Structure 1
Amino acid sequence: MKKSFIWLFSLCLVLTGCGTLPTLTNNTNSLKVASHVEFGEEDYQDIVSSNNALGFDLLSTATRDDKGNIFISPTSLFMALSMVYNGADGITKEEMEKVLYAKGLTPNDLNKANASFMTLLDQKSEKIQLNIANSIWLNNKYHFQEQFSTTNKDYFNAEIKEIDIHNPQSPKTINDWVKSKTNGKIDKIVADELNPELITILINAIYFNGSWTYPFGKSSTEEKTFTLENGSTIQVPLMELHENLFYTRNNIFQAVSLPYGDASMSMKVFLPNENVSLKEFEEMLTVDQWQDWQDSFYKLEGTVLFPKFTLEYEVELKETLKALGMSSAFNNSNFSKMVEEDVGISISSVKQKTYIDVNEEGTEAAAVTSVEMNATSMQPSDNPFFMEVNRPFFIAIVDETSGSILFMGSITNPQ
Structure 2
Amino acid sequence: MKSTLSVCFLLAGVQILVHGHRPHCHSNEYDHIYPTEPDSQVEEAYPCKSKAYFKLAPSNADFAFRFYQLVVSEESDKNVFFSPISISISFAMLALGAKSATLNQILEGLAFNMEKTQEKEVHEGFCHLICVLNHTDCENQLNMGNALFIEETLRPLQTFLEDVKNFYDSEVLYTDFQNSTAAEKLINDYIGTKTYGKITDLVQDLDPQTVMVLVNYVFFKAHWEKPFDTFNTGEEDFFVDEKTTVRVNMMYRQGIYKNHFDKELSCWLVQVPCSGNTAALFVLPDEGKMKEVEDALLQKTASKWENSLRNRKIHLYVPKFSISGTYDVKEIFRQMGVIDVFTDQADLSGITEESGLKVSKAVHKAMLNVYENGMEAAAATFLEIVADSLSPTIEFNRPFLMMIVDQATHSILFMGKIMNPTEK
Q: Which TM-score band (shorter chain)?
A: 0.7 to 0.9
3-state secondary structure, aligned to 2:226: coil
Name which of 86, 89, 112 aligns with 1:76.
86
Kindly provide the CA deviation profile for residues 306-363 of structure 1, in whole angstroms up to 9, marking residues without a partner as x.
01000121011111111101111111111111124x2301111110000100001100
3-state secondary structure, aligned to 1:322: helix
3-state secondary structure, aligned to 1:71: coil
Matched, 1:315 2:327: yes
Cα distance in 1 for partners of 2:171, 2:224 equals 33
Partner of 1:91: 101
Contact 1:21 1:40 in 2 (8 A): no
Contact 1:128 1:209 in 2 (8 A): yes
Task: Tell me how far 1:278 sits from its aligned partner.
Answer: 1.2
Name which of 69, 92, 96 aligns with 1:60.
69
Partner of 1:48: 57
Matched, 1:3 2:3: yes
Task: Tell me how far 1:196 sits from its aligned partner.
Answer: 1.2
After TM superposition, the structure 1 = structure 2 runs for residues 299-378 of structure 1, keeping only pairs within 5 Å, are: 299-331=311-343, 332-340=345-353, 342-376=354-388
Q: Which runs of no fewer than 5 residues in structure 1 stay unpaired?
A: 27-33, 380-415
Task: Tell me how far 1:268 sits from its aligned partner.
Answer: 1.5
After TM superposition, the structure 1 = structure 2 runs for residues 210-225 of structure 1, keeping only pairs within 5 Å, are: 210-225=222-237
Q: Which has the larger radius of gyration?
A: 2
- The structure with higher relative contact order (CA 8 Å, sep 6+) is 1
Cα distance in 2 for partners of 1:106, 1:147 equals 19
Partner of 1:170: 183
Partner of 1:278: 290
Cα distance in 2 for partners of 1:109, 1:179 equals 32
Contact 1:247 1:298 in 2 (8 A): yes
Which amino acid in 2 is paired with 1:186?
I
After TM superposition, the structure 1 = structure 2 runs for residues 12-27 of structure 1, keeping only pairs within 5 Å, are: 12-13=12-13, 14=18, 16-17=22-23, 24-25=32-33
Matched, 1:261 2:271: no
Task: Tell me how far 1:123 sits from its aligned partner.
Answer: 4.0
- Larger relative helix fraction: 2
Partner of 1:118: 130
Task: Tell me how far 1:78 sits from its aligned partner.
Answer: 0.5
Cα distance in 1 for partners of 2:139, 2:233 equals 22
Cα distance in 2 for partners of 1:261, 1:161 equals 36
Name which of 149, 157, 162 aligns with 1:150.
162
Which amino acid in 2 is paired with 1:84?
L
TM-score by length of 2: 0.81
Kindly provide the CA deviation profile for residues 24-80 of structure 1, in whole angstroms up to 9, marking residues without a partner as x.
549xxxxxxx88313454200121111111111111112667961111111001100
Q: Residues 298, 356 of structure 1: CA spacing in aligned structure 2 closer, same or farther, 3 A cutoff?
A: same
User: Aligned residues: percent identity?
Assistant: 24
Task: Tell me how far 1:110 sits from its aligned partner.
Answer: 1.5
Cα distance in 1 for partners of 2:295, 2:388 equals 37
Cα distance in 1 for partners of 2:29, 2:233 equals 45
For the aligned residue pairs, the C-alpha RMSD in angstroms reads 2.3
Partner of 1:249: 261
3-state secondary structure, aligned to 2:81: strand
Task: Tell me how far 1:127 sits from its aligned partner.
Answer: 4.2
3-state secondary structure, aligned to 1:16: coil
Q: Residues 58, 181 of structure 1: CA spacing in aligned structure 2 closer, same or farther, 3 A cutoff?
A: same
Q: Which runs of no fewer than 5 residues in structure 2 stay unpaired?
A: 35-41, 393-424
Kindly provide the CA deviation profile for residues 92-125 of structure 1, in whole angstroms up to 9, marking residues without a partner as x.
1111121122313333221111111112212465
Which amino acid in 2 is paired with 1:189?
L
Q: Residues 334, 124 of structure 1: CA spacing in aligned structure 2 closer, same or farther, 3 A cutoff?
A: same
Task: Tell me how far 1:11 sits from its aligned partner.
Answer: 2.3
Which amino acid in 1 is paired with 2:280?
M
Q: Residues 78, 338 of structure 1: CA spacing in aligned structure 2 closer, same or farther, 3 A cutoff?
A: same
Name which of 139, 143, 157 aligns with 2:151.
139
3-state secondary structure, aligned to 2:246: strand
Cα distance in 1 for partners of 2:127, 2:104 equals 22
Contact 1:22 1:39 in 2 (8 A): no
